[in-house]
Amino acid sequence: MFTGQGGIVRLIQNSEVFRKMYNDNLDNMPGRVAAKVRNLSFAAHRFDSTSKPIGRAVHSIFPVLQTAMQIAKLRRGTEESGVAKHS
């Protein structure tokens, strides 16, 4: 779900449009615990970099899920929509 080929974190990280959606959803998140993270910081080629995006995605799970729902709705019938629906 998070770091695989069809993971929502990778989809958000690699698309400027989806990253903007995520950041907008993050801005609207009520009751944040800590400073807002703008980047999920995913780099598949580094093993140690997989824990950071997972932690960040879990910490901001509601904005991640909102972004996935928006992608599924706006990109209906595309590969991105399929990734978002299965995340």
> What are 17-43's pLDDT values in tens digits?
999 999 899 888 877 655 555 556 555
Output phi, psi for 15, to 5 deg: -125, 125
Q: Is the pLDDT of residue 54 over 60?
A: yes
Amino acid letter, 61? I
Q: Is the pLDDT of residue 45 over 70?
A: no
Separation CA 20–CA 9 (nearest Å)? 13
- Closest C-alpha among 29, 62, 26, 56 to residue 41: 56
What residue type is assigned to position 78 of the chain?
T
First to last CA, the chain: 5
> What's the pLDDT score for residue 87?
66
Residue with tokens 């995520």: 22
